[in-house]
Amino acid sequence: MPILKIVTIPNPILRQKTKEINLKEISSREFKGLVSSMIKTMIVTDGVGLAAPQIGRGIRLAVINSKDGAFPIINPKIIKKSWARELDQEGCLSIPGVFGKVKRSKKITVAYYNQAGEKKRRSVQGLMARVMQHEIDHLDGILFIDKAVEIEDSNSKNQNEK
């Protein structure tokens, strides 16, 4: 399970819509290894989620870190969103040093496949809802900076101090 290299902006893969995964592939050793490496990479980099485009892969796969442990979401789709929305701070491993406030639904329901190929449906709220929306945006070529207000770039602050 190697640590994977995180792709950063302006890499064009971050702006591409990803392809659905053939469910026959998910039982392969290669796919299971990819999921394990993504989880390890996410944990080592202190991420709460990691989408396949962030490691240079154009497939509909993300891994999510929850209090119950990390898990993959394969071919995820948001099937329900609450009207209630919340503005909160976000950052991204692919956009280091940049943070901004993003308005997202407080509660969502996501349909996805797990690593066993079973169709799952999970309703989440709070931070977990935010993380899933952020990662699914990645799968659609959308970055948090596209939706953010009050963007802070610590990189430009550091440049000014030099």
Annotated catalytic, 135? yes
Q: What would the pLDDT profile of 93-140 be if each residue is shown by its tens digit?
A: 999 999 999 999 999 999 999 999 999 999 999 999 999 999 999 999
The domain spans of the chain are 12-156
pLDDT of the residue at 56: 97
**Out of 20, 118, 135, 161, which one is annotated catalytic?**
135
CATH number corresponding to 12-156: 3.90.45.10
pTM recorded for the entire structure = 0.93
Q: What would the pLDDT profile of 5-14 be if each residue is shown by its tens digit?
A: 999 999 999 9
Classify the C-alpha dihedral 17-22-23-25 as positive or negative: negative
Q: Kindly indicate the confidence band of residue 2, based on its pLDDT and cuts at 50, 70 and 90.
A: confident
C-alpha span between 61 and 55 (Å, rounded): 11
